[in-house]
Structure 1
């Protein structure tokens, strides 16, 4: 393999090679070989001839109903998630047709020894922020230190294995890593958005603000009307436009996002042509909501796009910091009250599968009895785990029935609550021996989930539980979530194709004590911590798969959530004005949209038909 190495680095490489084998490469993969060689011209799923122009307008990403900050990296405020997607470049860019491979973007090459005691990135001298300031190693150092010190708890947990980060020259940055950081960790570092240190001289990193952020990526924020709209338009002088990772990418002149607190209003706006691309999260809307005139005339298309990534870890999470929920029998009873079968058939038109696993839709999901290497991983913890981990298949929740009030499930739940000491009184409510009422707070900010959660809470009330399901405004819910001021939370996490250090943020003991962390349940268990580290430190995908199965098995026996549902595909509706690759990237639909393009002929046809106004 012929790799061009800047002359200034040659002595460093030679010296390092005298002590240990050092790899210098144009790309990085945690496990296995890279698909694309150093001379590749574009990703196979990209169309290098895609035309440039037009606007992709869509509803806000991830269902976030509002925003009041453009600082996307801290816990304070409600940030617009699109900011981190469009305006910042990272050291390397992911290839979405490989499970864990990245190729040089800001960094021309990556360097690391066999033991991964450090990783170094050699930056491209031509890299520039939007104000034409060079991107240097000092900016990387600033980014890492800011995220570790004042960033969202997710970043603080993710970066725990960075012992030191050093700018060895303007174009070379080195990360010294803790022992056992894991082979996926260099990829985690390579994907982080790199921030301009000088921008934060006047815009404190740890505060919310609405100043237009500065990045080095393909787009800039050009207009903001918080909390309703945000628009990103192409930097005409984008420094990396012709790099192989960007060929056939970033084809739209602008991305525009419309924010809707009420998703019903959002669908009506889409039907009227106020925006032109929509990911549909509601099965009822998908089944019955697209009968408006534009869809009937074929101007709007519905597409089901496959997703090869793990299903989101979506569920109703129990906050075990609360004494009531520390009794597993109570948590098991609450699980019985969620009737998936009725919910799926009645509300979701039978489109979903039940989520049982924290690694659903992958071979990392635990099945059957533990055996072989998985059993060997679990064996040292036998005396710290329930016996059923070794004697029974992994926990699968009761599916429910076609009746909204499943008597079998409610009887089982009632018995569990009785056994836990929560007895029904003359008033029909459950209290313990001290007379304390079994009361649960269940706040949320999503009207679209209300139709699902109200029947669940009605089942809880039928059991004699005083449950308060309350729809809050987004800022109030965000504040309560950050301080763990809830008993139940309906939340979904994106599961990585190659799980690694981020597992600590969701399930690790250290994250349990960090305000605003992603460890909603407050799980702090040494066995879970040890299994997370086993997964993080896996040297092959086979090792990772087995470690994840062991972790999945243990998490499931702890009943820390009520697993919800998954589809394994994306429901996407578009006004028929876009082109897209013949073979879309299988591993990330959201970023795969970056490889779509505006089809001027299709657009003009809809304008001529009176379907859309001529805005371009």
Structure 2
């Protein structure tokens, strides 16, 4: 099965094949909107190109999560809800086409209109839109949802709401949001906000949710039953209002999706081998090559599928909390990076099968280029030259070892860097001038066996440097609580990045998010240069400026030594029951939470 190449498929559709072309404003209500240019799909499109519009309905699949859950409300900070709920039980005004970098089409909304400069956006609600209890979705629900999520919802929704100057009904089915900042992506972000039912919370608060009081949605699936901490069953709503919408044809085909919870990944994998789980995503190439030869795979009852994609690598690795000394010192972070013997770790754990992430946007048009910054990238970075490491502009590459266990050259560099930062070995321990030992705690979920294996190797190198290292394993609830409160020295980090990065970059790396409880800026980055590059990305109206600003951001983040990257996931790996099928045509984003199992079906 081969992916559809966006750049070839839509080359004939005006400027849609140029991912980063100059933006044009919509002057009349439209069926869709793209970040740059016009949406690729026409107003009369019948289904998404990578959907099987004639896929049969039926069947039951079981998937597995590690850890547990104590909430069924994915929209508040309190509690730990199954991540699948947001994707299958709730929907927004617009929906994404994963065959384009960033384009939306009508879902709850039948049309979208916006100013040429996108200073406002207006949505017209579909007359037929209904919640799962049969009640209509209204303008009041739309306005309330924006307000309540922006003030009482999870902090990830607050940043958008702060950029809304006003929200008002402009007709019986239309709502207009006017923005207070120059940010072209806000119109699209507005279309992706979930819409909840206002009347449900007339006598209670959204944050008061319990396992038996969770939001009513309008999406194809509803929570059928659950056992606290053990399983949640989602059932396809036979009366779902939007089954015939172009965005929904050929999707959400399974009658039932059951989510079982396991203590760790190994137990989950054994359950999959035993046939108790229908599919499993695999992120370790070595395991994929050598451990999927169990009986069901040998007989063909389990099939291994590899799903290619065209998206950036994103960042996966270990993030260092710069809010805490000595990790606020880039020389210490650089030393820890040199002591991380990636080549040996990769060979030991994956057989060297997975290439290393070289930057946050590596593998894409948006990645920083080798050598010194040039052209517009250099122009964007130069005003901040005195605030950035010298190699941000001059050119930075990650340290590489010879693959041996000793990693001698990089270990010598690490010692030199620590010495420059005021640390010396005294009686076998790395100490500062005050005699305090350098001690670090690495926080991980107790079921994260892969990262624990990586840390076990890295820890030995750090201890050779005289650094005291402890590894704290906690359950998922404690892990969420501690990372949300930034109560860690080092922890794992995974941020998937798209071909059309935007406002989410402020949540990941922006100064305003650094001290916000529950923020995704785990590193605590506070950099005027980062903020400026993100602003330029959001306000650029040309291909050149957008790409240059993103490449400049990539340089700043990579050379800042905030995160020690590990391997990239250049292909999605899914092992599944042979009866689970998916279309031959694939989106440019490959596998993802909204592709698998949304576009799959059961076929005996």
TM-score normalized by the length of structure 2: 0.92
Q: CA deviation at 1:266?
A: 0.7
> 2:186 aligned with 1:192, yes or no?
no
Equivalent residue in structure 1 for 2:601, among 597, 602, 605: 597
- Compared with structure 1, are the counterparts of its residues 57 and 202 closer, same or farther at alpha carbon in structure 2 (3 Å cutoff)? farther
- Please name the residue that 2:79 is paired with: 77
- Please name the residue that 2:435 is paired with: 435
Equivalent residue in structure 1 for 2:43, among 38, 60, 65: 38
Matches within 5 A, 1:102-113: 102-113=104-115
CA contact (8 A) 2:197 2:215 kept: no
- Compared with structure 1, are the counterparts of its residues 442 and 373 closer, same or farther at alpha carbon in structure 2 (3 Å cutoff)? same
Report SS of the residue matched to 1:479: helix
Q: CA deviation at 1:216?
A: 0.3
Matches within 5 A, 1:197-596: 197-211=198-212, 212-367=214-369, 368-390=371-393, 392-393=394-395, 395-426=396-427, 428-445=428-445, 446-590=448-592, 591-593=594-596, 594-596=598-600
Cα-to-partner distance string for 1:515-549 (whole Å, 9 max, x where unaligned): 12111111111121111111111224443211100
- Compared with structure 1, are the counterparts of its residues 203 and 493 closer, same or farther at alpha carbon in structure 2 (3 Å cutoff)? farther
Structure 2: stretches of 5+ with no match in the other structure: 1-24
Q: Distance in 2 between matches of 1:180 and 1:202?
A: 37
Q: Distance in 2 between matches of 1:386 and 1:96?
A: 36
Cα-to-partner distance string for 1:302-357 (whole Å, 9 max, x where unaligned): 11110222223212111011021111111000001111111111101222111121
Q: CA deviation at 1:584?
A: 2.0
> 2:60 aligned with 1:58, yes or no?
no
Q: Distance in 2 between matches of 1:59 and 1:305?
A: 20
Q: Distance in 1 between matches of 2:391 and 2:283?
A: 36
Q: Distance in 2 between matches of 1:350 and 1:578?
A: 30
Q: CA deviation at 1:448?
A: 2.9
Report SS of the residue matched to 1:22: coil
CA contact (8 A) 1:287 1:349 kept: no
CA contact (8 A) 1:232 1:256 kept: yes
CA contact (8 A) 1:318 1:325 kept: yes
CA contact (8 A) 2:381 2:529 kept: no
Q: Distance in 1 between matches of 2:218 and 2:103?
A: 22
- Compared with structure 1, are the counterparts of its residues 418 and 88 closer, same or farther at alpha carbon in structure 2 (3 Å cutoff)? same
CA contact (8 A) 1:140 1:194 kept: yes
CA contact (8 A) 1:73 1:147 kept: yes
- Please name the residue that 1:8 is paired with: none
Q: Distance in 1 between matches of 2:204 and 2:582?
A: 38
Cα-to-partner distance string for 1:107-135 (whole Å, 9 max, x where unaligned): 00001010111000000011000111111
CA contact (8 A) 1:329 1:417 kept: yes
TM-score normalized by the length of structure 1: 0.90
Cα-to-partner distance string for 1:340-389 (whole Å, 9 max, x where unaligned): 11111110122211112111221111113221222222233234333333
Higher helix share: 1
Report SS of the residue matched to 2:55: coil
Cα-to-partner distance string for 1:564-610 (whole Å, 9 max, x where unaligned): 211211110011012211212222422222111110x3xxxxxxxxx
Q: CA deviation at 1:414?
A: 1.1
CA contact (8 A) 1:157 1:502 kept: no
- Structure 1 moving runs of 4+ over 6 Å: none
Q: CA deviation at 1:168?
A: 2.8
CA contact (8 A) 1:584 1:592 kept: no
- Compared with structure 1, are the counterparts of its residues 315 and 45 closer, same or farther at alpha carbon in structure 2 (3 Å cutoff)? same
Report SS of the residue matched to 2:326: helix
Q: CA deviation at 1:33?
A: 2.2
- Please name the residue that 2:148 is paired with: 146
Report SS of the residue matched to 1:246: coil
CA contact (8 A) 2:305 2:573 kept: yes
Q: CA deviation at 1:260?
A: 1.8
More moved, 379-388 vs 26-35: 379-388
Q: Distance in 2 between matches of 1:305 and 1:546?
A: 29
- Please name the residue that 2:14 is paired with: none
- Compared with structure 1, are the counterparts of its residues 157 and 399 closer, same or farther at alpha carbon in structure 2 (3 Å cutoff)? farther
Q: CA deviation at 1:40?
A: 1.2
What is the root-mean-square deviation of aligned Cα atoms in Å? 1.7
Report SS of the residue matched to 2:307: strand
Structure 1: stretches of 5+ with no match in the other structure: 1-19, 602-616
CA contact (8 A) 1:52 1:252 kept: yes
Q: CA deviation at 1:226?
A: 2.5
Q: Distance in 1 between matches of 2:309 and 2:146?
A: 31
Q: Distance in 2 between matches of 1:260 and 1:514?
A: 31
- Please name the residue that 1:125 is paired with: 127
- Compared with structure 1, are the counterparts of its residues 21 and 366 closer, same or farther at alpha carbon in structure 2 (3 Å cutoff)? closer
